[in-house]
Amino acid sequence: MTARRAAVLAAASGPAAIFVGDVFLGPIGALAIVGGGVAIGWKYVPDFWRTLFRAAIAGGLAGVLVLGPGYRLAMRIVAILDESTTPEFTIGGTMFLIVGIGAMFGGITTAWVTLITRTYAARRAVAVTVLTVVVIGTLFVDSEVFRELTELGLGPVLNVPMFLGVTVGWAWLADRWARPLGEPISADADMVSVP
């Protein structure tokens, strides 16, 4: 198995566990899918763990600094511009956005996307685009978030560009911090055995 194929399988194990494993196999099946992806990546992708950890740290830090606070600010603007709601500011909501969305989601997403983009030696624009599409795509999958983006405030005319701008800024910073940490993995790399 090539390093490229292994990186794609390892990265695909996360979404497969969420969308297939948890629905049909339960939480144990989802963990088994992720475990299989990690085992494949560990065996065949050079610098697998270093790539994941460094990218997760870069994405998490960028998420804490840009994604979480940026989404919180965008949500405040939407709430202020929406006449049908009373703007509320809660510490719990802010912490969820900074820690849950910014650090955790930002870190995990950056780790898996960086694994693929570094394996294919993708340009920065490709990596930023993939990160942005993944994060914005998850916003539109949730029906409640989709409704809020399209109906609250000034609607999609203002909401979508605000959230998209924050996401692109985060993706650029996350990729920037993750990228100089190592050379792209060569497609011709020898298989790495499990220690």
pLDDT of residue 34: 82
| Whole-structure pTM value | 0.75
Taking only the tens place, the pLDDT of each residue in 61-101 is: 999 999 889 988 888 888 888 877 777 778 888 888 888 88
* Run of H or E including 31: helix 26-44
Q: Measure the CA–CA gap between 27 and 11, rounded to whole angstroms.
A: 18
Domain boundaries, the chain: 1-43, 46-181
Residue 195 binned pLDDT confidence (cut-offs 50, 70, 90): very low
Task: Check residue 19 and report its DSSP letter.
Answer: I
Taking only the tens place, the pLDDT of each residue in 13-60 is: 877 777 776 667 777 887 888 888 889 888 888 888 888 888 889 999
Task: Check residue 192 and report its DSSP letter.
Answer: P
